[in-house]
């Protein structure tokens, strides 16, 4: 993106992070971090990643699993693209209750995805990094499923109407 659209740039001696569509930016002392992030669930990119706890939280959530994955109290760091793509890869319909999925396998796949993409400039889920080929279902409504050819469907899910996010799925590959 053009540099002038960046909202925040934070860096250290190893790396810089550029934030664009950020709702809020707050700079605070390390001692006060718990006030703003203490409620977050386990983070797959953290040194103290607790996959079992993340799976327990998602697996105990009776809401649609897409909603459960986006709830940062269950597992931190997964955004809407990751939720859509991991559900496709695991063959899970986004509306399935979190209590009805193999949460440990789902969390394992999600963690591997986010770690694999961590150092890439473009997220890739299909293994094909060419432009327009990296997503299985995200943003592909009414296009053929890359696996079976059925048209990808789209809709919206959220914990409440004001928190709905775009959701995409293949009605054949995800049951």
111-152 residue pLDDT tens? 999 999 998 989 999 999 999 999 999 999 999 999 999 999
Q: What is the pLDDT of residues 18-34, one digit of tens each?
A: 999 888 888 889 899 88
Token digits of residue 86: 């991991």
- What percent of the chain shows pLDDT beyond 90? 80
State the pLDDT confidence band at 46, using cuts at 50, 70 and 90.
Answer: very high
Radius of gyration of the chain (CA): 17
Fold of 41-169: Helicase, Ruva Protein; domain 3 (1.10.8)
Mean pLDDT of the chain: 95
Query: CA 126, CA 137: separation in Å to the nearest integer?
Result: 10
Domain ranges of the chain: 41-169
Bridge partners (DSSP) listed for residue 18: 9
Question: What string of DSSP letters covers 35-53?
Answer: HHHTT----TTSTT--HHH
Query: What sign has the CA pseudo-torsion 119, 68, 149, 105?
Result: positive
Q: What is the pLDDT of residue 175?
A: 92
Query: CA 125, CA 114: separation in Å to the nearest integer?
Result: 10
- What percent of the chain shows pLDDT beyond 70? 100
**H helical segments located in 28-149:** 33-37, 51-59, 65-70, 80-90, 103-117
Q: Considering only 12-21, 52-61, 140-149, which range has the smallest mean pLDDT?
A: 12-21
State the pLDDT confidence band at 62, using cuts at 50, 70 and 90.
Answer: very high
Question: What percent of the residues of the chain are helix, what percent strand, and what percent coil, each to the nearest 5?
Answer: 35, 15, 55
């Amino acid at each position: 993106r053009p540099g002038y659209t960046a909202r925040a740039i934070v860096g250290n001696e190893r790396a810089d992070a550029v934030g664009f569509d950020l709702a809020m930016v707050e700079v605070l002392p390390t001692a006060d971090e718990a006030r703003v992030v203490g409620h977050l669930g386990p983070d797959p990119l953290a040194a103290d990643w607790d996959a079992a706890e993340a799976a327990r939280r998602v697996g105990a959530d009776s809401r649609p699993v897409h909603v459960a994955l986006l709830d940062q109290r269950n597992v931190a760091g997964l955004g809407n693209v990751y939720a859509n793509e991991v559900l496709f890869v695991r063959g899970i319909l986004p509306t399935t209750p979190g209590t009805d999925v193999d949460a440990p396998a789902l969390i394992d796949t999600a963690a591997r995805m986010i770690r694999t993409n961590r150092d890439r400039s473009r997220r890739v889920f299909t293994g094909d990094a060419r432009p327009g080929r990296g997503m299985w279902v995200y943003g592909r409504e009414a296009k053929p499923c890359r696996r079976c050819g059925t048209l990808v469907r789209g809709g919206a899910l959220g914990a409440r109407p004001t928190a709905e996010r775009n959701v995409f799925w293949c009605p054949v590959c995800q049951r």
